[in-house]
Amino acid sequence: MVNLEMSNDVTVTLPRIEERIPTVVVDDAHVVYRVYRGSAGNTSPVAAFKRLITRTNTPNVREVHAVRGVSFTAYRGEAIGLIGTNGSGKSTLLRAIAGLLPVERGAVYTQGQPSLLGVNAALLNDLPGERNVTIGCLAMGMSPADVRRKLPEIIEFSGINQRGDFASLPMRTYSSGMSARLRFSIAAAKQHDVLLIDEALATGDKAFRKRSERRVRELRESAGTVFLVSHQLSSVRDTCERTIWLESGEIRMDGPTREVLAAYEAFTNGK
């Protein structure tokens, strides 16, 4: 087991004594997804009828080749930052690792079932926060007894009760920061083999960000692997010791966070 103090250098120079255990192996993965353009295509009844007769579907569907041949191996106990400009394929790559998008070519191997945590992951907005915690935890496969035990802890961690009793109000009354915090707290309550975080730490106030960064570190220490997609380089710097820089769906750089961030900052400033 790689210990935390060492891990900053371990990826660079130190010879490894113990064999590292891979948790995610991405082998030359290509992800192509299809977008239904909806109103952008010709949607007049005549055109739709013509498509139906000729059995073509093309004018409405566009293919986007979002990830082009990405290969890397992630190990147990690593926290990996994924950075890149907008549309570089970061979120798509995460969804492929989570098994939510199929790879067109290549393969993604994972240990256990990776969990993807994104800001847009809505639960049930008509229900109180507490209920959402219960349902979310059960959906992650916890037993009802575990859920009862963890419920106060999760509410406490999310800090939604700091401004009065919000836990019993429907989630639609929450501010966007509050609901993002609650969602993160739910997902972080369980021990994941692989946790994929998509911009979730960016929302929420500073106090919560500190708490969640600490939680990510805990998760990683207890033998998990954490992926973090973020545009906030500071949170990548604080949580990850390894960073992968994606550009137009290809890996531009993969290495220690400090070096990759320096190169990335030079690249974005130069533009």
Can you give the binding site for other proteins, defined by CB under 8 A?
A: 16, 19-28, 33-34, 36, 69, 71, 73, 95-102, 107-111, 113-118, 120-124, 126-127, 131, 134-136, 138-141, 143-144, 170, 183, 187, 251, 254
In whole angstroms, how close is the CB of 243 to other proteins at the nearest point?
Answer: 14
Q: Least separation, in Å, of the C-beta of 152 and other proteins? A: 18
- Residue whose CB is less far from other proteins, 238 or 251: 251
Please tell me the distance from the alpha carbon of residue 60 to that of residue 118, in angstroms, as a whole number. Answer: 28
- CB nearer to other proteins: give 84 or 238: 84
Distance of CA 174 to the CA centre of its chain: 22
Nearest approach, Cβ of residue 126 and other proteins (Å): 4
DSSP E strand stretches across the chain: 22-36, 61-75, 79-83, 105-110, 115-118, 194-198, 225-229, 242-247, 250-256
DSSP string, 181-225: HHHHHHHHTS--SEEEEESGGGSS-HHHHHHHHHHHHHHHHTT-E
Closest to other proteins by CB, 135 vs 233, is 135
CB 186 within 8 A of CB 154: yes
- Output the smallest distance, CB 123 to other proteins, in A: 6
> In the numeric block, which tokens belong to residue 271?
């533009």
C-beta closer to other proteins: residue 216 or 244: 244
